[in-house]
Structure 1
Amino acid sequence: MDSAKEKIAENFGNQYSTYSEIWKIIDEKWEHQLHRDLHAAAYYLNPRFKWEDDFSTHVEVKKGLYACMERLISDSSDFNQADAQMDEYRYKRGLFGMRAAQNSYKTRPPVEWWDQFGDHIPELRAFAVKILGLTCSSSACERNWSTFNQVHTKRRNRLSAIKLNSLVFIMFNKKLKFRKSRLQKKEDNLIFDNVSSDDEWIAEPNADDGESVDARDELALVVDEMDNEFRGVDLTVGTKEDNEARENEGDDNENDITNLDTHEEDDRLSFED
């Protein structure tokens, strides 16, 4: 990020008045959304960055590294071992000093590189693989924007940014609350009112054909169970409370939005003129 900011300043002729506003926007996003301890730890443990001359020695890098170690290495003995093994990595000792390791750290994925050449420091290798193996995902942002689209419609397109954020906060957390309540329920009463019956072909028991009534009833029960399992009844029906909750969820969200529109007097949630 520092390199990107310096490039921006260079493109603006290194005149602070011309790029200061851009830097301000970048710093705001970086500090509140992108600057995390995991980023610092991955930066330190990636040899492609660590072994370069322009590696940043800022104190925040070390703080982020050890913050992740304290959280992800629960065993105190493993923590001390990983901390002591840092010098092996920092000064390219052991397998790290071999020509194969030196020739491949810029081109090989860092997780594979650590797995291949970190055998002599197993505790630190396990931590490095865990950190560098994490992948970035935008799924949470996509779910958040999906909620924004539900709130910010053509009919409701003059909401202020603060009020829009509040509405999304309510809707998103109501969904989480509903999911949590479903997980906590112990009842599993299935509703078969809407399940079609496919047992018309089963004939009534006849005492003249020589087969006992109990045997026929048992066979019919087994067939019904197999048929329900095949058609996935457990996936198509649910509890009565769940069905009612799904039907009322949309109405509850709309009521919350309406109440905020008509009764909220807080300046933080007011319409913009």
Structure 2
Amino acid sequence: MTGNWGRWGERDERGTLNLVDETVVRAAVGTVRQGRVLSLAQPLGPDTSVPPHRRPPQRFMGRDAGDYAAGARSPDGFRFAEDTVLLGTHTGTHVDALAHTWTGDHLYNGHPASSVRSTRGAGHCGAERLGPVVTRGLLLDLVDHRGAPLEASSPVGAEELAEVCDRAGAQPGPGDAVLLRTGWWERHQGTEAYHDHEPGLSDEGARWLAERDVALVGADNYAVEVQPSPAGSTFPVHLRLLHRHGTPLVENLDLAELAASGAVTFLFVAAPLPLRGSTASPLNPVTVL
């Protein structure tokens, strides 16, 4: 298996996030100029659209105003509300853990795929292994490059990525979080079309990013990569980045405000929930300009 297997030892479960060391963090903090903080997360709630094979989020109120209208006690006038939210870890803006995809009998770095079980989740490479990420972010604005949001099923390859970087005057480097703006969320947010025939990264483009040792790749679409997959392959970018290189993917970003700011590089901060054995974690990534 080519890629990063064994690069950080046979027990490694974090992949390219190992590249985000103290030097990378200090350099990333140095990009802050304004102190302006932007969230990159899409809104999340019971009306969040999801692919047909997933269930939308659900909210259950454990206590609300109706309880008091029905005569619930209110000691000393104190009242409260609380709720329980049920959602899939791959719902809305989230980061894929390295246990999410594989081929053959092994997860990233040779960990046994048989360790992923419904009774305990992922025994290796789960969301709890990712840890918080503080690094330099790099926005590759494909909408600006093409002059319009990308059309359905438009692939983004190595040549175009290189052109966008040259135009922006910034190159992806070791430990970077590279964010791809396709305009797909801006065009189709909240509609069924968002989950069908998305533009996105090609396998060639994924290889180009992997060769530059980026720590994380995200996009403003639901799978990062172009859909449908080319004939003879199924989610090749997931297999290349998650499985071979150990590079987490952040899906369903909202990059419109970041693009409008004109920022190309910035401080990127994301803290996945330490969900033991989960194959992904909900995320509210932020940039500091």
Q: TM-score range by the shorter chain?
A: under 0.3
- TM-score, with normalisation over the residues of structure 2? 0.21
- TM-score, with normalisation over the residues of structure 1? 0.22
Structure whose CA Rg is larger? 1
Would you tell me which structure has more helix in proportion to its own residues? 1
Would you tell me which structure has more strand in proportion to its own residues? 2
